[in-house]
């Protein structure tokens, strides 16, 4: 297949027009109640190379590809030649030499690999360290546009609670939600705040949260990325920031709940909140397949 490869490393790599088209295609696939097996895609191969653990993202890409009729090939680091000492850079060189049409990569640090900018394959970032997770932000925003039945997030007040500093999900979401005109607030200890959000919307205490929050997103604490992990106390964090049912009640009567997963029940979100009628967590997972199918088509077009 002759493909002019795309690079989707950040949400900034997608124009407003691209984002609208992706959402439009994801919607039409859902309305038609199936992701059409597209004959023109049947010779394409999507490869996944996850150098960090994943449940949702890798399977969601693979499910989206399979539903489209695109074949998939998964690289597994643990059973690969990396176990014989080969480095990640050389491993990726090899994967690209196999000439997949799309390579989805997840790694523990930001993309600065010149080799992924040279290839003709499309490269999709499945999460790179603390930097970005563009497809998670796309599916989260799609879920909100769909739930609120609107074309933009204008007028919606979104509160992101938890480890904002180390969350690539938060970084991509703050950028994309702001582009879609949402009012984004963060609630986290001062040392986990980021300047992607205006200072007056960076909160450290539940007591300061404004009324009428429309959306709350809980984040897992990224313990694997904390420099002072030994000093972190889950008990203290949960006391101050875990989203309990009574705290959810205080946010607003119609406030919906998002969580990108993986979920640590009782740490950042209580079990009854994760399973609450206003929780959109399963919708996020379902919509992830649609949005990623639309992105795969975009890359192969
Ligand atoms: C997140 C990730 O890996 O960045 N999960 C996901 O992809 N759905 C969030 C996390 O690990 O906490």
Mutate to test the pocket of ligand 1, among 133, 168, 171, 265 (most ligand atoms within 8 A of CB): 133
- pLDDT-based confidence at residue 32 (cuts at 50, 70, 90): confident
What percent of the chain clears pLDDT 90, i.e. is strictly above it? 86
User: Is there an atom of ligand 1 within 6 Å of 259 CB?
Assistant: no
What is the rounded average pLDDT of the residues 230-240? 91
Read off the DSSP letter of residue 250.
Answer: H
Q: Strand 157-161 and strand 183-187: pairing? A: parallel
- Tell how far the Cα of 56 is from the centroid of ligand 1, in angstroms: 8
- Tell how far the Cα of 192 is from the centroid of ligand 1, in angstroms: 17
Asked if 257 and 273 count as a contact pair (C-beta separation under 8 A), the reply is yes
pLDDT in tens, 183-214: 999 999 999 999 999 999 999 999 999 989 99
Mutate to test the pocket of ligand 1, among 169, 226, 289 (most ligand atoms within 8 A of CB): 169
User: Is there an atom of ligand 1 within 6 Å of 220 CB?
Assistant: yes
User: Is there an atom of ligand 1 within 6 Å of 162 CB?
Assistant: no
Q: What is the pLDDT of residue 118?
A: 82
What is the rounded average pLDDT of the residues 267-291? 98
Q: Which atom of ligand 1 is nearest to the CA of 169?
A: 4
User: Is there an atom of ligand 1 within 6 Å of 57 CB?
Assistant: yes
Q: What is the pLDDT of residue 2?
A: 40
User: Is there an atom of ligand 1 within 6 Å of 106 CB?
Assistant: no
Cβ partners under 8 Å of residue 231, min gap 6? none
User: Is there an atom of ligand 1 within 6 Å of 169 CB?
Assistant: yes
**Residue having the nearest C-alpha atom to atom 12 of ligand 1:** 220
Q: What is the pLDDT of residue 3?
A: 43
Q: Compute CA distances 84 → 13, 81, 97, 106, 153, whole Å.
A: 35, 5, 20, 20, 49
User: Is there an atom of ligand 1 within 6 Å of 288 CB?
Assistant: no
Q: Compute CA distances 297 → 139, 142, 168, whole Å.
A: 15, 17, 24
Q: Which pTM does this prediction carry?
A: 0.96
What percent of the chain clears pLDDT 70, i.e. is strictly above it? 97
What is the rounded average pLDDT of the residues 159-170? 98
Segment (H or E) for 183? strand 183-187
Q: How many residues does the chain have?
A: 301
Q: Of 106-115, 118-127, 163-172, 215-224, where does mean pLDDT reach its minimum?
A: 106-115
pLDDT in tens, 116-138: 888 899 999 999 999 999 999 99
Q: Say if residue 283's pLDDT is above 80.
A: yes
């Amino acid at each position: 297949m002759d493909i002019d490869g795309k690079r989707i490393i950040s949400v900034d790599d997608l124009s407003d027009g691209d984002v609208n088209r992706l959402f439009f295609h994801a919607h039409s696939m859902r309305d038609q109640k199936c992701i059409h097996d597209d004959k023109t895609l049947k010779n394409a191969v999507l490869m996944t190379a996850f150098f960090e653990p994943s449940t949702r993202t890798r399977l969601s890409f693979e499910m989206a590809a399979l539903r489209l009729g695109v074949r998939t090939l998964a690289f597994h680091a643990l059973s690969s030649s990396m176990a014989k000492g080969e480095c990640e850079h050389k491993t990726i060189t090899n994967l690209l030499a196999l000439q997949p049409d799309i390579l989805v990569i997840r790694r523990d640090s930001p993309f600065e690999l010149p080799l992924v900018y040279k290839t003709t394959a499309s490269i999709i970032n499945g999460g790179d360290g603390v930097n970005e997770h563009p497809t998670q932000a796309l599916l989260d925003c799609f879920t909100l546009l769909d739930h609120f039945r609107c074309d933009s997030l204008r007028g919606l007040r979104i509160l992101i609670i938890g480890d904002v500093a180390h969350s690539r999900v938060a970084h991509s979401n703050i950028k994309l939600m702001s582009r879609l005109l949402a009012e984004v607030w963060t609630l986290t200890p001062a040392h986990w705040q980021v300047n992607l959000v205006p200072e007056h919307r960076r909160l450290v205490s539940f007591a300061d949260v404004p009324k009428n929050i429309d959306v709350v997103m809980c984040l897992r604490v990224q313990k694997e990325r904390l420099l002072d992990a030994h000093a972190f106390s889950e008990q203290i964090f949960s006391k101050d920031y875990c989203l309990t049912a009574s705290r959810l009640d205080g946010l607003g009567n119609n406030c919906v709940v998002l969580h990108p997963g993986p979920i640590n029940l009782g740490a950042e979100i209580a079990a009854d909140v994760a399973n609450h009628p206003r929780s959109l967590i399963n919708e996020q997972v379902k919509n992830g397949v649609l949005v990623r199918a639309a992105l795969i088509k975009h890359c192969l077009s």
